[in-house]
């Protein structure tokens, strides 16, 4: 069996394939590792110890997850629950409120300007803000 992902498929399709193989859900880190292990060409193959690499990888994955969520929802094929600790492909359920409410995270991750405009200093500020809130 060839474990490599189809290089002609976009990242959202590759994520869809991986989520279908993990019906109980999968954490973001594990999902990124699977993408790397299966030779995904859409994310950086650099150590996640570099904060800017970590941010860019995270952003690209979440952008693709939100695009996948919208596509599956519009085609009535499913719903992607997006949480860094558990990303899960769920069956489509008509009338679900998840997509009808304003989702600022969705807006953020679908704006590719956020990716191109964020530099290493911005990432450091985001991390510092995160750790401050955690305390």
Q: How many CB atoms lie within 10 A of CB 115?
A: 13
Burial of 50 (0-12, 13-18, 19+ CB in 10 A): middle
Mean pLDDT of 74-93: 95
* Residue 78 confidence (pLDDT): 95
Structure tokens at 86: 């558990």
Where do the domains of the chain lie?
11-95+103-134
| Contact of 79 with 71, CB cutoff 8 Å | no
- Range list of β-strands (E), the chain: 79-81, 88-90
pLDDT digits (tens, 9 = 90+) for 111-134: 999 999 999 999 998 888 877 887
Model pLDDT, residue 100: 60
* pTM for the structure as a whole: 0.89
% residues pLDDT > 70 (the chain) = 93
Residue 88 has pLDDT above 50, yes or no: yes
- Go through the chain and tell me how many residues it has: 135
Q: Would you state the structure tokens that stand for residue 47, as one six-digit string?
A: 């150590």
């Amino acid at each position: 069996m060839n474990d490599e992902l189809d290089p002609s498929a976009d990242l959202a399709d590759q994520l869809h394939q991986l989520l279908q193989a993990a019906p109980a859900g999968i954490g973001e880190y594990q999902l990124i590792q699977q993408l790397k292990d299966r030779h995904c060409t859409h994310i950086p193959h650099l150590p996640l110890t570099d904060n800017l690499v970590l941010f860019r990888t995270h952003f690209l994955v979440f952008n693709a997850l939100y695009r996948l969520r919208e596509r599956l929802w519009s085609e009535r094929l499913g719903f992607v629950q997006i949480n860094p600790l558990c990303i899960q492909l769920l069956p489509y359920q008509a009338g679900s409120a998840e997509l009808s409410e304003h989702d600022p995270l969705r807006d953020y991750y679908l704006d590719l300007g956020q990716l191109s405009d964020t530099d290493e200093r911005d990432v450091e500020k985001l991390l510092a803000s995160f750790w401050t809130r955690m305390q």
